[in-house]
Amino acid sequence: MNSVRVALAQIAPRLGDLEANLSLHLDAIKLARREKARLVVFPELSLSGYVLRDQVPDVAITAASAAQKALARASREIDVVAGFVEETPGHRFYNAAAYFSRGKAVHVHRKIYLPTYGMFEEGRDLAPGEIVRAFPTPHGPAGILVCEDAWHPALAWLLVQDGAEILFVLSSGPTRGARPGRGVTSLGVWHDLLRVTAQFQTAFVVYVNRVGYEDGLNFGGGSMALDPFGRTIASLPALDTGIAIAELSDEVLRRARTVYPLLRDENLELAHRELARIRQARFALPKEAAAQARRRRRASRS
């Protein structure tokens, strides 16, 4: 990767107001440029707000939408990562995040794990993504996870195995619990998860969580960037809007992956073999069907 100066934009989107939220983005982009950042990262669903329910079709955008075109134009001067509801051909709606660079969206990640439990209802209105991929950026290979995705460690692992050196984690995480002297306790849990992810994947993690209120939910903020040793290199407080600047150093990445050669020592063949065994047992697949699949794979490679 190349060293890069990143702005974490902890904003409070307005529910369902694309125009107002686009203005928040453009203002934060201007501020990030004044801070000489080369990349600015926004929270999950930063263009639309989170508790959308029946507003999903109204706020969904496509590549031809004015809001997405405006972010693409802004990315001619600074790379942008932002969240929105994506509408695809066939009118399926996804909780999506895009990386914009040099005037276009170069990668879109569709949230794979949609929480539909407790206070969360995403699976009622949105379709789950089915693909996780690393992608090239001017600053090095990267990957995107959206909120709940980060709680399934296999996704971060897959992205790093696919070449990612920077993981962007966009979130609309509400506050859940507070203790005197410890602040918002749900943020501490998030920070522990992110620290472990950065250290054990030996990758930079850039986490941006929103703030503000919607339909009784209070979103916690606490955005942060961590280096591949799991050390915090930039952070923002709970509950307040703001921008923080993080310097992601290529030398730190090199040092971490030299000291902890976890990628070098990963046994992908073992993981592939054991996952196939577990999958067969979980879904009661006939052994002969699994053998036929292996034969087809071998034939396709020959």
Residue by residue, DSSP assigns 25-81 as HHHHHHHHHHTT-SEEE--TTTTT-S--GGGHHHH-B-TTSHHHHHHHHHTTTSEEE
- Quick one: pLDDT band at residue 59, thresholds 50, 70, 90? very high
Q: What pLDDT score was predicted for residue 14?
A: 97
Residue 232 shares a structural domain with residue 295 = no
- Quick one: pLDDT band at residue 284, thresholds 50, 70, 90? confident
State the average pLDDT over residues 150-167.
98
Whether the per-residue pLDDT at 32 is higher than 70: the answer is yes
Residue 182 shares a structural domain with residue 287 = no
Q: What pLDDT score was predicted for residue 132?
A: 98
Residue 255 shares a structural domain with residue 275 = no
Residue 192 shares a structural domain with residue 94 = yes
- Give the full edge-to-edge strand order of the sheet including 92-101: 104-110, 92-101, 79-88, 39-41, 4-10, 242-248
Q: What pLDDT score was predicted for residue 118?
A: 83
**Would strands 92-101 and 104-110 be described as parallel, antiparallel, or unpaired?**
antiparallel
| 212-248 pLDDT per residue, tens | 999 888 999 999 999 999 999 999 999 999 999 999 9
State the average pLDDT over residues 156-178.
91
Comparing CA positions, the residue from 181, 252, 241 lying closest to residue 208 is 241
Comparing CA positions, the residue from 131, 134, 111, 138 lying closest to residue 123 is 111
Number of domains in the chain: 2
| 170-196 pLDDT per residue, tens | 999 988 655 545 556 678 899 999 999
> What are the DSSP calls for 223-263, one per residue?
-EEE-TTS-EEEE--BS--EEEEEEE-HHHHHHHHHHS-HH
Residue 141 amino acid letter: P
Q: What pLDDT score was predicted for residue 286?
A: 79
- Quick one: pLDDT band at residue 38, thresholds 50, 70, 90? very high
Q: What pLDDT score was predicted for residue 266?
A: 96
- Quick one: pLDDT band at residue 296, thresholds 50, 70, 90? confident
Residue 219 shares a structural domain with residue 297 = no
Residue 187 shares a structural domain with residue 158 = yes
Which residues are CB-contacts of 254 (< 8 A; sequence separation ≥ 6)? none
In this structure, are residues 199 and 229 in contact, taking their beta carbons and an 8 Å threshold? yes
Q: What pLDDT score was predicted for residue 176?
A: 65
Q: How far is CA 146 from CA 65, 240, 259, 269, in A?
A: 22, 21, 29, 28
The tokens for 34 are: 């004044």
Residue 198 shares a structural domain with residue 288 = no
- pTM of the entire predicted model: 0.92
Q: What pLDDT score was predicted for residue 54?
A: 93
Whether the per-residue pLDDT at 293 is higher than 90: the answer is no
Residue 159 shares a structural domain with residue 291 = no
State the average pLDDT over residues 137-151.
98
Domain interval for residue 272: 268-301
Mean pLDDT of the chain: 93
Can you give the CATH number for the domain in which 241 is found?
3.60.110.10
Q: Is 137 helix (H, G, I), strand (E, B) or coil?
A: coil
- Give the full edge-to-edge strand order of the sheet including 166-171: 142-146, 166-171, 204-209, 224-226, 232-235
Backbone angles phi, psi at 123, to 5 degrees: -65, -15
State the average pLDDT over residues 14-41.
98
Q: How far is CA 247 from CA 51, 57, 169, 170, in A?
A: 33, 38, 17, 18
Query: Any idea what DSSP says for residue 177?
Result: -
Q: How far is CA 166 from CA 55, 80, 98, 163, in A?
A: 33, 14, 15, 9
Q: What pLDDT score was predicted for residue 58?
A: 96
Residue 36 shares a structural domain with residue 89 = yes
Residue 211 shares a structural domain with residue 189 = yes
Residue 72 shares a structural domain with residue 44 = yes
- Quick one: pLDDT band at residue 288, thresholds 50, 70, 90? low
Residue 162 shares a structural domain with residue 288 = no
